[in-house]
């Protein structure tokens, strides 16, 4: 069972002008695909070959000798999840069950946005900003490089990729502008609500 590159849930130009088709050409076709190809090379002929992606991540997270496998597997999962966290004409104030939960934890949407932006902006170097469930507790977190909530017994609800390859073609060094733009214009709250239930 080879790991496969899932289709993007929208066309390459669906997220423009906030994330350009040019960025998706590189980010999905080159970066995401490379993680899939690298992972398949690393697991072919090993006992991980028949495992699911989630199982591979959890096994490799506990074994330092499998760091390369973990990095590629987690990046495959994180990217597949990230694409689904966005949609054309998304973003803005949340709807559904997540809205009440966000208000219960942060008081209001504006404070939540501030914390989420801060997590992404202060992740030193490459990584990810997340909204996760830890038990019943809603949390904003950040992870470095390929690290993923799956490796920490957390349920991912939402992520924003803050590796430079996610925004450099569109925003150059202005990571905070990219974060603000994704939050305001692209977050797929239906997907977040589906993850919550």
Chain positions contacting Mn ion, by CB under 5 A = 161, 163, 166
CB 159 within 8 A of CB 82: yes
**Closer of 112 and 163 to Mn ion (Cβ):** 163
CB 38 within 8 A of CB 114: no
**Closer of 51 and 79 to Mn ion (Cβ):** 79
CB of 166 to Mn ion, least distance (A): 5
HEC letters along 121-150: HHCCCCEEEEEEEECCEEEEEEEECCCCHH
**Closer of 35 and 191 to Mn ion (Cβ):** 35
**Closer of 105 and 121 to Mn ion (Cβ):** 121
Residue whose beta carbon is closest to Mn ion: 161
Beta bridge partners of 156: 132
CB 71 within 8 A of CB 146: yes
CB of 106 to Mn ion, least distance (A): 26
CB of 189 to Mn ion, least distance (A): 22
CB of 79 to Mn ion, least distance (A): 6
- Residue 46: count of CB within 10 angstroms of its CB: 12
């Amino acid at each position: 069972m080879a790991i496969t590159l899932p289709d993007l849930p929208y066309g390459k130009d669906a997220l423009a002008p906030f994330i350009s088709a040019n960025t998706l050409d590189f980010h999905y076709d080159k970066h995401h695909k490379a993680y899939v190809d690298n992972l398949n090379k690393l697991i072919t002929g090993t006992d991980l070959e028949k495992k699911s992606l989630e199982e591979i991540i959890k096994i490799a997270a506990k074994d330092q000798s499998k760091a390369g496998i973990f990095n590629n597997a987690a990046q495959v999962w994180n990217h597949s999840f990230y694409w689904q966290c966005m949609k054309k004409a998304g973003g803005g104030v949340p709807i559904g069950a997540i809205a009440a939960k966000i208000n219960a934890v942060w008081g209001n949407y504006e404070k939540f946005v501030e914390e989420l932006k801060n997590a992404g902006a202060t992740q030193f170097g490459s990584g990810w900003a997340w909204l996760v469930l830890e038990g019943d507790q809603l949390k904003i977190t950040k992870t470095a490089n390929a690290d993923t909530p799956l490796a920490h017994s957390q349920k991912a609800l939402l992520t924003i990729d803050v590796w430079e390859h996610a925004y450099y073609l569109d925003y150059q060094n202005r990571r905070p502008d990219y974060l603000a733009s994704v939050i305001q214009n692209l977050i797929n709250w239906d997907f977040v609500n589906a993850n919550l239930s």
